[in-house]
Structure 1
Amino acid sequence: MTGFALGVDQEEWCAHLRALSADRLRPLADKGEPGRINRPLLAELGELGLLERVFASGALELCLLRESLAYGCTEAETALALQGLGAYPVLRAGSEVQRARWLPGVRAGRTVAAFALSEPGAGSDAAALALEAAPDSRGAAGGRGRGRGRGGWRLSGEKCWISNAPEADFYTVFARTGEGPGAKGVSAFLVPADRPGLTGEPLDMLSPHPIGSLAFDGVPVGPEDLLGEPGRGFRVAMDTLNLFRPSVGAFAVGMARAALDATLAYTAGRTAFGGVLGDLQAVAHRVAEMATRTEAARLLVYAAAGAYDSGSPDVPRRAAMAKLLATETAQYVVDHAVQLHGAVALRRGHLLEHLYREVRAPRIYEGASEVQRTIIAKEMYRAVAPR
Structure 2
Amino acid sequence: MPAFSLEPVRTAWGAQLRALAADRLRPLAEKGEPGHVNRPLVAELGRLGLLARLFTSGAVDLCLMRESLAYGCTEAETALALQGLGAHPVHAHGTPAQRERWLPRVADGTAVAAFALSEPGAGSDAAALSLRAQPGEGPDRAAHEGPAASLDAEPDGPARWRLTGEKCWISNAPEADFYTVFARTTPGAGARGVTAFLVPADRPGLTGTPLDMLSPHPIGSLDFDAVPVTADDVLGEADRGFRVAMNTLNLFRPSVGAFAVGMAQAALDATLDHTARRNAFDGTLRDLQTVAHRVAEMALRTEAARLMVYAAATAYDERTPDVPRRAAMAKLLATETAQYVVDAAVQLHGARALRRGHLLEHLYREVRAPRIYEGASEVQRGIIAKELYASLEDR
> Quick check: TM above 0.5?
yes
Asked if 1 retains the 8 angstrom alpha-carbon contact of 2:194 and 2:242, the reply is yes
Q: Which amino acid aligns with 1:220?
A: P
> Which one is further off, 373-382 or 178-187?
178-187
Distance 1:77 1:179 in 2: 38
- Residue 5 of structure 1: how far off its partner (Å): 2.2
Residue number in structure 1 paired with 2:145: none
C-alpha distance 365-140 of structure 1, shift in aligned 2 (>3 A): farther
- Residue 363 of structure 1: how far off its partner (Å): 0.1
Distance 2:280 2:118 in 1: 48
- Look up the SS of the partner of 1:24 in the other structure: helix
- Residue 55 of structure 1: how far off its partner (Å): 1.2
- Residue 307 of structure 1: how far off its partner (Å): 0.3
Asked if 1 retains the 8 angstrom alpha-carbon contact of 2:18 and 2:69, the reply is yes
Distance 2:341 2:219 in 1: 26
C-alpha distance 287-144 of structure 1, shift in aligned 2 (>3 A): closer
- Residue 136 of structure 1: how far off its partner (Å): 1.3
Residue number in structure 1 paired with 2:115: 115
Residue number in structure 2 paired with 1:198: 206
Q: Which amino acid aligns with 1:303?
A: A
- Look up the SS of the partner of 2:51 in the other structure: helix
Matched, 1:360 2:368: yes
Residue number in structure 1 paired with 2:223: 215
Matched, 1:154 2:188: no
Matched, 1:236 2:244: yes
Runs of 5+ unmatched residues, structure 2: 143-153
- Look up the SS of the partner of 2:221 in the other structure: strand
- Look up the SS of the partner of 1:217 in the other structure: strand
C-alpha distance 261-29 of structure 1, shift in aligned 2 (>3 A): same
C-alpha distance 80-144 of structure 1, shift in aligned 2 (>3 A): closer
Q: Which amino acid aligns with 1:185?
A: G
Asked if 2 retains the 8 angstrom alpha-carbon contact of 1:138 and 1:152, the reply is no
Q: Which amino acid aligns with 2:40?
A: P
What is the root-mean-square deviation of aligned Cα atoms in Å?
1.6
- Look up the SS of the partner of 1:130 in the other structure: coil
Residue number in structure 2 paired with 1:290: 298
Q: So what's the TM-score if we normalise by structure 1?
A: 0.96
Distance 2:85 2:377 in 1: 19
Runs of 5+ unmatched residues, structure 1: none
Q: Percent identity?
A: 76
CA offsets per residue over residues 31-61 of structure 1, 9 Å max, x none?
0000000000000000000001111100000
CA offsets per residue over residues 149-194 of structure 1, 9 Å max, x none?
x951000000000000000000000000007610000000000000
- Residue 25 of structure 1: how far off its partner (Å): 0.1
Distance 2:173 2:20 in 1: 27
Q: Which amino acid aligns with 1:231?
A: D
Q: Which amino acid aligns with 1:19?
A: A
- Residue 141 of structure 1: how far off its partner (Å): 8.0
- Residue 145 of structure 1: how far off its partner (Å): 6.2
CA offsets per residue over residues 268-287 of structure 1, 9 Å max, x none?
00000000000000000000
Residue number in structure 2 paired with 1:255: 263
C-alpha distance 239-141 of structure 1, shift in aligned 2 (>3 A): farther
Matched, 1:347 2:360: no
Matched, 1:165 2:157: no
Residue number in structure 2 paired with 1:6: 6
Distance 2:99 2:141 in 1: 20
Please give the residue correspondences for 1:59-78 in structure 2 after superposition, counting only pairs within 5 Å: 59-78=59-78
Residue number in structure 1 paired with 2:151: none
Q: So what's the TM-score if we normalise by structure 2?
A: 0.94
- Residue 77 of structure 1: how far off its partner (Å): 0.1
C-alpha distance 224-140 of structure 1, shift in aligned 2 (>3 A): farther
- Look up the SS of the partner of 1:87 in the other structure: helix
Residue number in structure 2 paired with 1:338: 346
- Residue 137 of structure 1: how far off its partner (Å): 3.7
Asked if 1 retains the 8 angstrom alpha-carbon contact of 2:159 and 2:229, the reply is no
How many residues align? The count is 382
Distance 2:195 2:96 in 1: 18
Residue number in structure 2 paired with 1:224: 232
C-alpha distance 151-165 of structure 1, shift in aligned 2 (>3 A): closer
Asked if 2 retains the 8 angstrom alpha-carbon contact of 1:114 and 1:164, the reply is yes
Q: Which amino acid aligns with 1:285?
A: H
Asked if 2 retains the 8 angstrom alpha-carbon contact of 1:140 and 1:152, the reply is no
- Residue 386 of structure 1: how far off its partner (Å): 6.4
- Look up the SS of the partner of 2:168 in the other structure: strand
C-alpha distance 271-220 of structure 1, shift in aligned 2 (>3 A): same
Asked if 1 retains the 8 angstrom alpha-carbon contact of 2:249 and 2:374, the reply is yes
Distance 2:283 2:268 in 1: 21
Distance 1:82 1:11 in 2: 24
Distance 2:4 2:315 in 1: 12
Distance 2:197 2:139 in 1: 14
C-alpha distance 215-237 of structure 1, shift in aligned 2 (>3 A): same
Q: Which amino acid aligns with 1:367?
A: G
Distance 1:107 1:320 in 2: 28
Asked if 2 retains the 8 angstrom alpha-carbon contact of 1:133 and 1:176, the reply is yes
Distance 2:296 2:394 in 1: 43
C-alpha distance 78-356 of structure 1, shift in aligned 2 (>3 A): same
- Look up the SS of the partner of 1:90 in the other structure: helix
